[in-house]
Amino acid sequence: MTLPDPAVAVGIDLGTSGARAAALSANGDVVGFAASPFADPAESRSPAAWWTRVRECLAALGDATSLAQVEGLAIDGTSGTVLSVDAKGQPLGGVLMYNDPCPDAALVERIATLSPADSPARGANSALARAIHLLRASPEAMILHQADWIARQLGLTVSITDENNALKTGYDLATERWPDWIVEAGMPIERLPQVRRAGEPVGVVGPSAMALGLSPGCRVHAGTTDGCASFLATGASQIGDGVTALGSTMVLKLASSHPVNAADYGIYAHRVLDFWLVGGASNSGGAVIRALLGDDRLEDLTARLNPDQPTGLDYYPLLKPGERFPINDPAYPPRLSPRPADDAVFFQGLLEGMTAIERQGFERLRTLGAPPLRSVRTVGGGARNPAWTAMRRSALGVDFLPARSVEAAVGAASLVLARRQA
């Protein structure tokens, strides 16, 4: 009997529904996986619950495979989630999640007047605005991102973040420093963590991690956001590799040789490994289908789709007016008529409309300066629809490749492997 290769890298994903952990061998095979869901929505914004679920994942991972030879781990967290902590790294009770608007609109307006026009720190969901708001409640606090705080629990003795998580807090990727304008906005730089590139080793684990089976020499690597980790998990890594997430909304991401920023379309660039990750998100997607047709009939309707015979319906499937990408228009109207009597034809028309949005999205990225699309990997529920895949393959005209994994934890672990192989 051939024994499986040992685990050498661990990735931890802290998402909206709970924690997940993956262990990879040196050649990238998943040799262990564990998940621990949050018990209720309140846990998703509780640091104590984050740490409990991470511990449970690592304990379960250790039951599935030995962690004794793990050389490093990395953590991804929800982009823009921030919390205030004391000098010892203990939470002070302030957590603002990635989707919480800043409670103080004046902070958002001040950042807009001081920041560069293409800064990801702008807008109602600005992580920088949330951080300043938390600091006003606890002026002596330190500000951490979700992934940073878990790294502290695993043994880091200083506050360090990665530049992907730092981006929405105002970090300048070009100069690789916290810019001076954030001080004028109300954020003292000394209250923010040090920043390292994603995947860079930043320390070693401590007693709490060793108690879960990790060795004393196991390194902690700077992590990333859940979105970047999800891209890496698919195996996409070459310039022109695209990933389409067909979930409630449609999210497109593309590996680029250079940054592309277009704030009007919600596009900004993350630096990941040796490439830049750019993309945009449409308001169209599975939520529209669910609202118009429900979930219980989709399997039967899918069997009746005929991709070789287009419907000719020119739909732009939205639930309400407003689109952000590939068209930026807060009043952009849905196009959902005429509605055929046959719901299978209606369903196909919706999918054709979303396929057109995907094609326009990658074309929009190209016109904004991104490289041409060379391949697509697909994640999300829509990836399981073969008829839709056929429509998309025809419309995009590039190779459709299988996703290595859909688990962000695998992407976080791949950061460790990339440093190991460098």
264 vs 97 pLDDT, higher one: 97
- As a whole number, the mean pLDDT across the chain is 95
Residue 355 has pLDDT above 60, yes or no: yes
3-state helix, strand, coil in the chain (%, to 5): 35, 25, 40
Which helix (H) or strand (E) segment is 27 a member of? none
Residue 372 has pLDDT above 90, yes or no: yes
Winning range, highest mean pLDDT, from 30-34, 93-97, 292-296: 30-34
- Where residue 90 falls among pLDDT bands split at 50, 70, 90? very high
Burial class (CB in 10 A: 0-12, 13-18, 19+), 293: middle
The reported pLDDT for the residue numbered 3 is 67
Size of the chain, expressed as the number of residues it contains: 422
The reported pLDDT for the residue numbered 385 is 93
Burial class (CB in 10 A: 0-12, 13-18, 19+), 178: buried
Phi then psi for residue 142, to 5 deg, are -105, 150
The reported pLDDT for the residue numbered 228 is 94
Residue 263 has pLDDT above 90, yes or no: no
Structural domains present in the chain: 9-228+408-421 (3.30.420.40), 239-400 (3.30.420.40)
The reported pLDDT for the residue numbered 346 is 98
The reported pLDDT for the residue numbered 124 is 81
Residues 369-382 as b or e (16 or more Cβ within 10 Å = b): ebbebebbbbbbbb
**Beta strands 241-246; 375-379: pairing state:** parallel
pLDDT digits (tens, 9 = 90+) for 179-212: 999 999 999 999 999 999 999 999 999 999 999 9
pLDDT digits (tens, 9 = 90+) for 296-318: 899 999 999 999 999 999 999 99
Q: Which residue has the tokens 């989709």?
A: 298
* DSSP class of 212: T
- Where residue 422 falls among pLDDT bands split at 50, 70, 90? low
pLDDT digits (tens, 9 = 90+) for 122-148: 988 899 999 999 999 999 999 999 999
Which helix (H) or strand (E) segment is 196 a member of? strand 194-196
Q: Cβ distance 72 to 416 under 8 Å? A: yes
At 6, the amino acid letter reads: P
The reported pLDDT for the residue numbered 1 is 57
**Euclidean distance between CA atoms 74 and 301, whole angstroms:** 42
Burial class (CB in 10 A: 0-12, 13-18, 19+), 4: exposed
Burial class (CB in 10 A: 0-12, 13-18, 19+), 393: middle
- For residue 51, which of 190, 208, 192, 206 has the smallest C-alpha distance? 208
Mean pLDDT in residue range 365-391: 95
The reported pLDDT for the residue numbered 285 is 94
